[in-house]
Structure 1
Amino acid sequence: MAEAEGTSEERLLAAAQQGDETAFESLVERYRRELHAHCYRMLGSIQDAEDAVQESLVAAWRGLAGFQGRSSLRTWLLRITTNVCLRLSARRPRRMLSFEHGPPRSDVHDLGEPVTGPVWLEPWPDDLTADQESDPAAAYLRRESVELAFVAALQHLPGTQRAVLILREVLGFTAVEVAEILGTTPASVNSALQRARATVRERTPRRTQQAELAALGPDGRRALVEAFATAWERADVPALLDLLAEDARFTMPPLPAWFDGRRDVGRFLAERVFATPWRLVPMTVNGQPGFACYQGDGERFRLGAVNVLNLRDGRIRWIAGFIDPEVVARFPVPTEILPPDR
Structure 2
Amino acid sequence: MTASPAIDALLLPQTEVAADDSAETSHLRAAQAGDMAAFEWIVRRHEEKLFGFCCRWLRCVEDAREVCQDAFVRAWQALPEFEGRAKLSTWLYQIALNLCRDRAKSRASRQRENTTTLNDLEQPLPCPQHPPDASAEWQSEMQKLERGLALLPEKLRTALMLSTMEGLSHEECAKVLNCSVRGTEGRIYRARQMLLRWWNEEGQC
Alpha carbons of 1:129 and 1:152: their partners in 2 closer, same or farther (altered >3 Å)? closer
Alpha carbons of 1:4 and 1:156: their partners in 2 closer, same or farther (altered >3 Å)? closer
- Higher Cα Rg, which structure: 1
SS at match of 1:147: helix
Task: Give the TM-score normalised by the residue count of structure 1.
Answer: 0.44
- Deviation track 1:118-138 (CA, whole Å, cap 9, x = no partner) reads 2533443455665xx9xx659
State how far apart, in whole Å, the 2-side matches of 1:86 and 1:126 are: 21
SS at match of 1:199: helix
Matched, 1:124 2:139: no
In 2, are the aligned partners of 1:53 and 1:81 still within 8 Å (CA)? yes
Q: Which residue of 2 aligns with 1:185?
A: 180
- Larger relative contact order, structure 1 or 2 (CA cutoff 8 Å, min sep 6): 2
- Unaligned regions of 5+ residues in structure 1, if any? 94-115, 207-246, 248-342
Choose from 28, 34, 37 the match for 2:49.
34
Give percent identity, aligned residues only. 28
In 1, are the aligned partners of 2:157 and 2:191 still within 8 Å (CA)? yes
State how far apart, in whole Å, the 1-side matches of 2:47 and 2:192 are: 27
Matched, 1:78 2:74: no
State how far apart, in whole Å, the 2-side matches of 1:56 and 1:26 are: 15
- Unaligned regions of 5+ residues in structure 2, if any? 1-16, 133-137
Please give the root-mean-square deviation of Cα atoms over the aligned residues, in Å: 3.5
In 2, are the aligned partners of 1:176 and 1:186 still within 8 Å (CA)? yes
Matched, 1:54 2:69: yes
The structure richer in helix per residue is 2
Choose from 147, 163, 171 the match for 1:168.
163
Alpha carbons of 1:174 and 1:125: their partners in 2 closer, same or farther (altered >3 Å)? closer
In 1, are the aligned partners of 2:46 and 2:89 still within 8 Å (CA)? yes
In 1, are the aligned partners of 2:125 and 2:165 still within 8 Å (CA)? no
Tell me how many residue pairs correspond in the alignment.
Answer: 178
Matched, 1:23 2:19: no
Q: Which residue of 2 aligns with 1:159?
A: 154
In 1, are the aligned partners of 2:75 and 2:92 still within 8 Å (CA)? yes
SS at match of 1:91: helix
The structure richer in strand per residue is 1
